[in-house]
Structure 1
Amino acid sequence: MAFDFRAILRATVLGAGLVLGLAAPASAGERAERARTLSDARPWAASLYVGTSVTDGYLRELIVSPQNGTYGDDTVVGAGLNRQLARFWRFFTVSAEAGGYYRFGQTEGGEFWANVGVSYDGFPWTDYVYTTIGVFVGPDYVTRLPAAETGTAAMPEENTSKWLNNLSPEITFALPSAPQNAVVLRYVHRSGIFGNINGVWEGSNTLTAGFRYRF
């Protein structure tokens, strides 16, 4: 019986190519899409936070030059629960969340919020680090006013309110293969939206870091 070595070689090469193709890791773009798919499959997320208050400085200034803030009057510890509601335009998601902190230190009081937000996860490095940025906004209530909102004895604030607006920009980092486990950096800003809530112009800021688990 004659053997066609060229046919055997072709079959071997094709078979090896098929095996290698099946075993090869996903391409960069596929890793990013898989990370989004895995994340979307777990619409709920629980977060734990720890951070510090920032007693002076405007939010826009602190984002650019965080070293100009005064930190540490309060240490905050808290948690939040988030529900992804929808994804749109491929890289954007809409979520609703609720959570709370306790302020240890000068304030010694609780803070609670209920927000809705939009996040973006279309960064070019998502193949290597699954990254999201988001902005959340909603009502915020404190059981005791932080010193940054009351002013000083010499210069007390004319208008204060336990109910204010919560504006929380955040950024998260996770492995593309496990987007359900993420590190979170979040800046929480309470304000009266330029005097539109009870005439309040002053606000307070909190810088937090935490861990988020999607399920």
Structure 2
Amino acid sequence: MNDILCFKQRQLCLMRLWHSSSYIFIVAVSIMYFGVGSVASRAEELGVLPSFWRQSPVSGQFLAPNPQPTLRIGAYVGALSEQSLIGVTVLRPWQPKIQSDSLVDVHAIYTAYRFESIPIDLEIEGGIAKHFGWSHQTEFNLEPMVRWKYFPWNDYVYTNFRLGLFGVSYDTSIPEWEKRQVGQNGRTSRFLSFLVPEFTFSPSKDSPFEVFIRVHHRSGIYGVIIKDQSSNYISGGIRFSVF
């Protein structure tokens, strides 16, 4: 009985911690999105940025307008959802059913090819994620992605849709949630398929940064790799253009 109470108390604390972290993250991203970008752009127009800031290669890359970046770096946080991929993205996205597990991911995106006649970029993304809560493993992922760059409202909020279908994910240990799905006698794998649908938002086409929401999805592809093992993390983050 005491073990059950301790588990429930720990689960409640983790949920409160996640909710608090989410609010802080949303506020921070909002400040950066509506504050830093506009203030920096305006300061650049007026010529009032300090000389050391304008001459710094790091700050210069992060603040300089860049409509066609080749390399981006970013980070995001995610919370584990009980729902399936189709449930959390299409059927019931308003009912995420968050569980006591989360992740923090850092990644880089390389633009491999940019089409001239259609609004599509081909990209390669590689990332490292650290999990917290039920599991504490480290995850490595690599994925080719397609970026669609045209939406009718892009003059107001520049929006892109990114999709990766054929990625790979490797965990240093089997996540607790995925173990529960296959049961005690079920087969598990550290190596799974990695799939990501993502929307990005930025003030303009040449903005040096973008905020985004995505689903971080690992699965065995209905038995192609392994049966019944999958996880979905509802995530949000920010990334910057490097060059």
Q: Is 1:57–2:87 an aligned residue pair?
A: no
Supply the distance in 1 between the matched residues of 2:234 and 2:168 (Cα, whole angstroms).
18
What's 1:167 paired with?
195
Within 5 A, what are the aligned runs for 1:60-99?
A: 60-64=86-90, 65-88=92-115, 89-99=117-127
Residue 163 of structure 1 aligns to which amino acid in structure 2? F
What's 1:209 paired with?
236
Misfit runs of 4+, over 3 Å: none
Supply the distance in 2 between the matched residues of 1:177 and 1:162 (Cα, whole angstroms).
38
Supply the distance in 2 between the matched residues of 1:201 and 1:171 (Cα, whole angstroms).
27
Unmatched runs of 5 consecutive residues or more in structure 1: 1-36
Alpha-carbon deviations, 1:128-160, whole Å to 9, x = none? 11110011231100112222211179x436121
Alpha-carbon deviations, 1:84-103, whole Å to 9, x = none? 11122421110001001101
What's 1:146 paired with?
175
Would you say the 8 A contact 2:215–2:235 is kept in 1? yes
Supply the distance in 2 between the matched residues of 1:48 and 1:157 (Cα, whole angstroms).
36
What's 1:123 paired with?
151
Taking a change above 3 Å as real, the CA distance of residues 179 and 157 of structure 1, as seen in their structure-2 partners, is: farther
Taking a change above 3 Å as real, the CA distance of residues 146 and 70 of structure 1, as seen in their structure-2 partners, is: farther
Larger radius of gyration: 1
- Choose the corresponding residue for 1:43, options 46, 70, 79: 70
What's 1:33 paired with?
none
Report the alpha carbon displacement of residue 70 of structure 1 after superposing the two structures with TM: 2.6
% same residue = 29
Supply the distance in 1 between the matched residues of 2:169 and 2:93 (Cα, whole angstroms).
23
What's 1:28 paired with?
none
Supply the distance in 1 between the matched residues of 2:239 and 2:130 (Cα, whole angstroms).
18
Equivalent position SS for 2:79: strand
Supply the distance in 2 between the matched residues of 1:94 and 1:131 (Cα, whole angstroms).
16
Alpha-carbon deviations, 1:14-70, whole Å to 9, x = none? xxxxxxxxxxxxxxxxxxxxxxx9331x2100011112112x221001112124443
Q: Is 1:133–2:161 an aligned residue pair?
A: yes
Aligned length: 175
Q: TM-score, normalised by structure 1?
A: 0.76
Q: TM-score, normalised by structure 2?
A: 0.67
Supply the distance in 1 between the matched residues of 2:230 and 2:153 (Cα, whole angstroms).
35
Supply the distance in 2 between the matched residues of 1:66 and 1:146 (Cα, whole angstroms).
23
Supply the distance in 2 between the matched residues of 1:177 and 1:95 (Cα, whole angstroms).
17
Supply the distance in 2 between the matched residues of 1:69 and 1:177 (Cα, whole angstroms).
31
More strand by share: 1
Supply the distance in 1 between the matched residues of 2:199 and 2:94 (Cα, whole angstroms).
19
Taking a change above 3 Å as real, the CA distance of residues 126 and 111 of structure 1, as seen in their structure-2 partners, is: same
Taking a change above 3 Å as real, the CA distance of residues 212 and 152 of structure 1, as seen in their structure-2 partners, is: closer
What's 1:189 paired with?
217
More helix by share: 2
Alpha-carbon deviations, 1:173-209, whole Å to 9, x = none? 0011642210011111100111001x33320111111
Residue 149 of structure 1 aligns to which amino acid in structure 2? E
